[in-house]
Amino acid sequence: MTDAGGLAIGVDVGGTKVAGMVVDPGGAILDRRHVETPAADAEGVVRTVVAVARDLLADHPEVSVVGVGAAGLVDRDGVMRFAPNIAWREYPLRERVARGVGLPTLVDNDANVAAWGEFRFGAGKGSVDMLLVTVGTGIGGGIVTGGRLFRGAHGFAAEIGHVIVEPDGPRCGCGNRGCFEQVASGRAVGRLGVLAGRDHPEALLVRLAGGDPERIEGPMVTEAAKQGDPVATHVLAEVGRRLGEGIAGLVNVLDPDVVVVGGGVIEAGDLLLEPARRAFEGAVEAPDHRPRVPLLAAALGNDAGGIGAADLARLELGGSGA
């Protein structure tokens, strides 16, 4: 299990950065690279992914496979059918990276690979059926069932951010109104923060925005709440409630043994998670007649995607095997 052939490169492609890492079979990161990218330049992002992987490979020639995680609909052949942040449409991402790096390559959705990372080495370790909910600007999801990543018929499963939970609610980037990610993500924290700031111009939250409630953004809400601002705390509690209600619906469908909550908004910690847990307990079907399903904060932070992508590539494309 620890032979050199077990090393894999994992690459996490974000909207503005590419993070690459060399990961061993135990999930430890042995080396890493981090490069900012111009998100609009679809070809440039691929060149950056290839350059990051080749740079790591030059220093670790024993690496045998590459795994890539990127936001969007990735089919089972590694074709990026649709990416929300980068201009990739029906784009043969796996083939391009494999050809550029010269190694067998796996490409999957960013939340899927993050779920796999948390399942294998993070907050979901020891579980069998795990749901990951990533709460960042939007909401992503990853599902592990029976110890395997659940991809659906086409590879598009677990796009939980686009379940409509509030008909006629805020417009979503997908074209619908009232998607889960519009009411329970970082974007929702920012939007509700602006509304709360207008009603409470005296709040610390407004001071953090330079006195202008229209300039309030999600991270300011978290910062103000951590400093005890009741207005900001209330915003996080409201978003946490919506998050917990949404998770309850997903738990009714999937029946996981654990739910892991990750993404940037987790910076808020229990200010978000405690209201989410309360709402979850209140909304899940028959809570008194089922084992408790813990809602845990993710453990691997921004590294979950790269670690999970590397591990999935190692397990699914060979290397030293599981």
Q: What is the C-alpha to C-alpha distance for residues 219 and 249, in angstroms, rounded to an integer?
A: 27
Pick 121 or 180: Cβ nearer Zn ion: 180
Answer yes or no: are the C-beta atoms of 293 and 286 closer than 8 Å: no
* Residue the block writes with tokens 């290397």: 319
Contact status: 53 vs Zn ion (CB under 5 A): no
Amino acid residing at 56:
L
- 26 closest CA partner among 105, 131, 122: 122
Q: Which of 73, 174, 283, 297 binds Zn ion (CB under 5 A)?
A: 174
Centre a 10 Å sphere on the Cβ of residue 282 and count the other Cβ atoms it contains: 12
Pick 160 or 247: Cβ nearer Zn ion: 160
Q: Which of 79, 179, 220, 254 binds Zn ion (CB under 5 A)?
A: 179
Q: Which of 74, 101, 172, 259 binds Zn ion (CB under 5 A)?
A: 172
The angle, 0 to 180 degrees and rounded to 10, between the axes of the packed helices 186-199 and 218-226 is 70
- Residue 309 DSSP label: H
Contact status: 73 vs Zn ion (CB under 5 A): no
Amino acid residing at 101:
V
Pick 32 or 162: Cβ nearer Zn ion: 162
Give the interface segment with Zn ion, choosing from 26-34, 110-118, 171-179, 199-207 (CB under 5 A): 171-179
Closest distance between Zn ion and the C-beta of residue 179, in Å? 3
Pick 174 or 283: Cβ nearer Zn ion: 174
Answer yes or no: are the C-beta atoms of 306 and 69 closer than 8 Å: yes
Pick 57 or 160: Cβ nearer Zn ion: 160
Contact status: 162 vs Zn ion (CB under 5 A): yes
- Residues forming contacts to Zn ion in the complex (CB under 5 A) are 162, 172, 174, 176, 179
